[in-house]
Structure 1
Amino acid sequence: YIALMIRDYYALSEPTDYYALSEPTVPEHLKTRIKHYKDAYYNS
């Protein structure tokens, strides 16, 4: 489960066209998700 979250997190961190396009207006739920991933990663 954690591995899936980390994989997801790194996928979101990749400088892809999608990420570049969405960066200026990152959806709030996505920010929250990334924050949860970071917390889970650093606290694991």
Structure 2
Amino acid sequence: MTDRIALWLGAILIVLILADIFLNQGQALLFLGRRIADLVQYVAFWR
């Protein structure tokens, strides 16, 4: 991955996070955070 691609992906990610915060009060980020926490606990159980 080149630096240019990494910068574009980072910029797009930041724009999407800011859009969620301003348009949806961060509900999508909260939902994804909870689901990832559940996944980590599930995977830790099988370890």
TM-score category by the smaller chain? 0.3 to 0.5
Q: Compare the two structures and name the one with the higher helix fraction.
A: 2
TM-score, normalised to structure 1, is: 0.39
Return the index of the structure with the highest Cα Rg: 2
TM-score, normalised to structure 2, is: 0.37
